Chain A
């Protein structure tokens, strides 16, 4: 009993500590796969770590102190929200704290007073305007079928969320590329047109910190997706199902990234809202019709 209680804390802690490494590896795999699809050799899988390490040895070139503070705040908030998610804190609060990390990134972008930072921050806000409603509606639907905003309720629910909220999961898949900053929604960091968006002015170790934040972010998003199947299935235990779901989401991300070209902001708004909201609405009708919601 005691050991189990300890494990409840140790496992999330271990995942939290490992997540930048896993995140970095996933990005390395992504680059390799993408390169193979484009018939290139591609960098080694551990290249993201080399990049970060190299950045930490570089000389700093900064514009002002404000955006550096917000950049670090962005990193800390992402780590905080991932920790909240892993330790099964209230899901609604976790989502809002994750949103706060983007507010920090936007403020960082604005406070450089650079043309690229400004454009990037505005676009980042538009992205937030696009994905946040979908995410919050999804959280609301999760609350409807589990009866609570507590993450624990998902684990205690009688059937996995995938059976009750399949379309909501699809809607989250639609916004995945936004959160992972991948094509077709890599709008805020469109490096061919606006350099690196809100991150343009970062260099040296501060850019390295942002990279690490992105690693954490990727794990957060994937873990969120994995909440949709946390029960054992046939011979597989619950954690294996979670890992499978995360893998599926990641493969989806890579495939979509390579298949599509970047969209404009207004196209993103329209397409994601129409598709995402329709999916969520259909799912809502489904759970109401089948009486699977808990008041």
Chain B
């Protein structure tokens, strides 16, 4: 299939389906439009995967003989977007957002209208390389599953039409963002994600939602300001805004020679806000007021991935600089302390939110370590985390839909009430903490890459972060999995209420967890390729039946088989006769124990920790820019 046609069906077509869905009367019709859209998106992304890397230049759209260039269209849309932000900021009296939108207008106008630009001969506007393909698969497949899930979840919702519109525009836009080669275009797609997430977070339009969405808006606009400033500086220093040309480009630099990394510090700051790393974590945890499919979309397939995606893109340009080191430290800081905060939470969605930030921190840390091994770890973590986290959010949404609670204390013994969902959820939880699952593979690679350095310095700080962060995450995930499995003897198992639109995506993602592990080596050998800057380093990671680096190796598939044997043999072999079942030992009291607690809220709760962590986060951001200019 033609490359530009595929590109179209991954970016514009979902948006068109969204509009059709918005206009279509009745929920039944909308349902089929959504399903069709999901299928088209999935198929297109698989075709792109089979098509491999390619460059696509789309300078203009041909409409019945009329050729309209795209750049001006995007510019106009850019202004409309900023005006929308202004309007919402004004309406909600969120003056920070108004100010930031104006601050974006100035550099944008300068960049597009007044800045002298070199001619770009032959630079492709869209580059579909292997990183973009991986991102596209995450966005399209997991996003489609979330769409199908939402059909069940949003049934009977007043604003379902606008919800589906925003979701589908979001997916198309996210695809465009990862394919875009021109940073100026990427900025537009970047801001569209801000708008979509803003609209989705305020879906219920109650006071809490509006407050949370306003906070998300101003924080993301802050990142947008930083991003556009970075792009202007890049144009200044390198004479191009095309990602593929930065490495070779050289313009008239207004900056001192030492500050060559400053533009990237601006871009990285933008990435941190989008990925909600500390100290910007509050917008993502606040966004939990939105419907659960929205949370799933933000956490696994879109939004927050955009930030770390940009960091992975930038990593080759800042090898060995202090900015890179600072990114590693900021990422590690978020990894460890968000895991600690997750440990103190009882609300399942907040646990997931903190754990997302935590893992994004790990990914950011890997991009900051910036070796071939570390960058491989970053891409791997991004992909595996998306599958597991999407799965868990959808499970939590299903539970909340059915039992009306999302506190992990109230999920106690869920296997007796909703066996299917509970078991899938346990699979999801184990996949985030235990070997040999995908996230573990990523963590293992990260641990290895932290241990592979030529000078002992901040790497020691990072290894501290990675060890403690991993152990905290094991703590809260196993506690949660234990809660789900804790059943009383003699409980009757009630028939589960099935809603297949919601359960099918769960089953697919649950299987996906295993399939991704089985395909790990294939994934490493054929989908992760690094820019030539890394020299021969990627080839040090030998993949066959096992993944072998210079300092260690293991076989994910072999351990997956071992893991399945370890679990399945007892499941099959153990027979429990009805007569053997007994009550739990209660030390002769015969009383039903009240179980719970163990969250250490008064030691590490949000109220206690964030007081110290937020200022440290701000200091780290200042240090990021300081690192760029020294």
Contact = CB atoms under 8 A, between A and B. Distances in A.
A64 B447 contact: no
Contacts of A116: 585, 587
B444 interface: yes
B453 A136 contact: no
A122 B598 contact: yes
A61 B580 CA distance: 5
Given A62-B581, A80-B562, A113-B412, A103 B444 contact: no
A125 interface: yes
B582 A61 contact: yes
Contacts of B552: 90-93, 148-150
A206 to B, nearest CB: 8
Interface residues of B, number: 63
Contact of B584 (A92, A100, A114, A136): A114
A99 interface: yes
A93 B581 contact: no
Interface in B282-330: none
A88 to B, nearest CB: 12
Interface stretch (A4-12, A68-76, A249-257): A68-76
Contact of B566 (A80, A96, A150): A80
B479 A110 contact: yes
Interface in A88-108: 89-93, 96-97, 99-100, 103, 106-107
A72 B453 CA distance: 40
A69 B593 contact: no
B595 to A, nearest CB: 5
A201 B585 CA distance: 7
Interface string A42-82: 00000000000000000111111110110111001100100
A62 B580 contact: yes
B570 interface: yes
B576 A62 contact: yes
Interface string A186-200: 000000000100001
B73 interface: no
Contacts of B452: 295
A211 interface: no
A107 B566 CA distance: 14
A68 B576 contact: yes
Nearest to B577: A60
Contacts of A293: 456
A177 interface: no
A118 interface: yes
A100 B443 CA distance: 14
A112 B553 CA distance: 36
Contact of A65 (B468, B479, B488, B576): B576
A65 B573 CA distance: 11
Contacts of B475: 125, 128-129
Interface string B436-466: 0000100010011001111110001001000
B258 interface: no
Contacts of A103: 430, 433-434, 474, 478
B458 to A, nearest CB: 14
Contacts of A132: 467, 471, 474
A77 B566 contact: yes
A129 B585 contact: no
A78 to B, nearest CB: 10
Nearest to B456: A288
Contacts of B76: none
Nearest to B587: A195
Interface string A127-166: 0110011001100100110011110000000000000000
A121 B551 contact: no
Most central of A113, A118, A293 by chain B CB within 10 Å: A113
Contacts of B559: 97
B109 interface: no
Given A61-B580, A112-B486, A201-B585, A66 B415 contact: yes
B532 interface: no
A23 interface: no
Contacts of B566: 73, 76-77, 80
B605 interface: no
B553 A63 contact: no
Contacts of A128: 471, 474-475
Contacts of B580: 59-62
B413 A195 contact: no
A136 B446 CA distance: 14
A201 B483 CA distance: 17
Contacts of B413: 113
Contact of B435 (A68, A93, A129): A93
A34 interface: no
B574 interface: yes
Given A63-B584, A97-B435, A69 B467 contact: no
B98 to A, nearest CB: 46
19 contacts: A59-B580, A62-B580, A62-B581, A68-B576, A69-B570, A80-B566, A90-B553, A91-B552, A103-B430, A110-B481, A110-B483, A114-B584, A114-B585, A122-B598, A125-B478, A125-B479, A128-B471, A143-B551, A195-B585
Interface of B: 412-413, 415, 430, 433-435, 440, 444, 447-448, 451-456, 460, 463, 467-468, 471-472, 474-475, 478-479, 481-483, 485-489, 550-554, 559, 562, 565-567, 569-571, 573-574, 576-577, 580-587, 593, 595, 598
Given A63-B582, A77-B566, 6 more contacts: A65-B574, A68-B570, A73-B566, A110-B482, A113-B486, A121-B482
- Those 7 A-B pairs whose CB atoms lie nearest each other, nearest first: A110-B482, A149-B552, A114-B584, A72-B570, A111-B485, A115-B593, A113-B486
